[in-house]
Amino acid sequence: MRLRVMGTVFLVSAVLAAGCGDGTAEADPAGTTSAPPPVDATVTTTAEPSLPASHRGVTPDTIRLGVVWSDLDELRELGLVDINYGDIPLVWQTIIDDVNANGGVFGRQIEMVFDRYNPIEATSVEEMCIRLVEDEEVFAVTGSLAGPALEGILCIIESQETMVLGGTHRPELLDRAKAPWITTEWAQDRRYTALLDIYEDQGLLEGRLALLDDHRERQGLTVDIVHPKLADLGRTLTTEFTSTASSDELQLESQIGLFSQRLETDDIDTLLIVQSAIALGLPLIREAGFDGTVLTIDGGSYLAGISGFDERPASIYEGAYGPTLFGTEDVWAMESTRACEATFEAANPGIDVIPSEQVPDGEPQWATPLLAACRLIGLFDIIAERVGADLTPDAFEAAAYELGTFELPGQPFNSIEPGKLDANDGMGLGIFDATVGAEGGLRPVLPYTSVTDD
């Protein structure tokens, strides 16, 4: 809208300047001076046409967005987490207020409807879906959608045919979507296949291969993604084992003991461990004597934060490979990250945002929800501005395809194109080194870069 107003002002000024000339009256053939035309004191203006109510949740003046997040208070009461992200609705409202203060989205103001869900219960997301779509009539849902509750996203993208911006694409869910589902994260299948490509390029998928996974994710990850990719690479698994122990550590120890014997019997050179749900199988395998190559295949490299859930000496993980994330120093060196931080701190002068790893125990980790809000609201703003007046989910998806490559706060490599609605393209490779930091961590093997084919 600001560009439209400025353009109108420039056009009117040019017309007035042309009419005034240099201020000298024009002479007629008889040598007399023509009288100036009479001035009409009546000024007429043409009001800009009102924007249409183009879709549910979109009025001439507003766009209603559902913003969702895990109910951390409920999880804390259950003893499952002890994480403090501060006032999450405040974070999102601050970023939305900044967009609104700068003209909104093509002249419309964003209205936030905040809601929470229990991430270990899919029905909790379904209940939230009904509240947001049927009761609040939001145009789209954004925020954090993760954990087992991700299954409940089908209520939004399939049953209610409502657009989602966020979450992690899983093929079996994405295939059922009847509304656009765009995310700033990696799609599960694309991340895992990209990581296997890196392992292959580095010559790490050599010799006799074995695979360890967890029954909860076997079909969606191992069978649907890992198996086909290994076949494409011409690699064959000698041994596979699927744990059914879940959170029963004694049962897990027993199962891994039997699996470790098979690793020795089958003369395994390289072990693939799929997903962090089976992360604690790695030290048990090392303790059982396996000294071959270990390749972890997971979404966020649990090796980077292994000290958070294992009290064993860090050396037990020595030499295991995993994907690396964009480094903390690199994230906070980005201009877009600093702009996001500055916007929030200017509106909330009593709050200092620092990297989550540097936050003292018990203090709020404001950076986590803040970067998510800046990425998702920023992406929504950019795409919806491209759409213009007639904002609909289909128009939004079509406009997203025109973005090409772009940067998001703390996330330098992104792209969206037909058939690819998950933005993140960045990945690195590391190997666990017990001497990194105070408690061990991933030492870079390959730099963090875009792994999407040109």
Q: Where are the domains of the chain?
A: 62-186+328-425, 189-325+428-450
pLDDT of residue 308: 57
Same topology, domains 62-186+328-425 and 189-325+428-450? Answer is yes
- Dig out the tokens for 14 from the structure: 């040019």
C-alpha span between 144 and 165 (Å, rounded): 9
pLDDT of residue 225: 95
Give pLDDT < 70 ranges for the chain.
1-49, 277, 299-302, 304-310, 453-454
**Please, is 120 exposed, middle or buried when counting C-beta atoms within 10 Å of its C-beta (0-12, 13-18, 19+)?**
middle
Question: What phi and psi, each to the nearest 5 degrees, are found at residue 76?
Answer: -65, -40
The single-letter DSSP state of residue 315 is G
C-alpha span between 164 and 146 (Å, rounded): 13
pLDDT of residue 250: 86
Sign of CA dihedral 124, 126, 130, 133: positive
pTM for the full predicted model? 0.83
Closest-CA residue to 141 (of 419, 426, 376, 368): 376
pLDDT of residue 193: 95
Closest-CA residue to 432 (of 286, 321, 284, 290): 321
pLDDT of residue 287: 87
- Dig out the tokens for 274 from the structure: 């799929």
Record: fold of 189-325+428-450 = Rossmann fold (3.40.50)
pLDDT of residue 29: 36
Question: Parallel, antiparallel, or unpaired: how do β-strands 140-143 and 181-182 relate?
Answer: unpaired
Q: What is the DSSP string of 248-313?
A: -HHHHHHHHHHHHHHHHHTT-SEEEEESGGGTTHHHHHHHTT--SEEEEE-SS-GGGGGGGT--S-
C-alpha span between 286 and 275 (Å, rounded): 17
Domain spanning 62-186+328-425: CATH superfamily: Response regulator (3.40.50.2300)
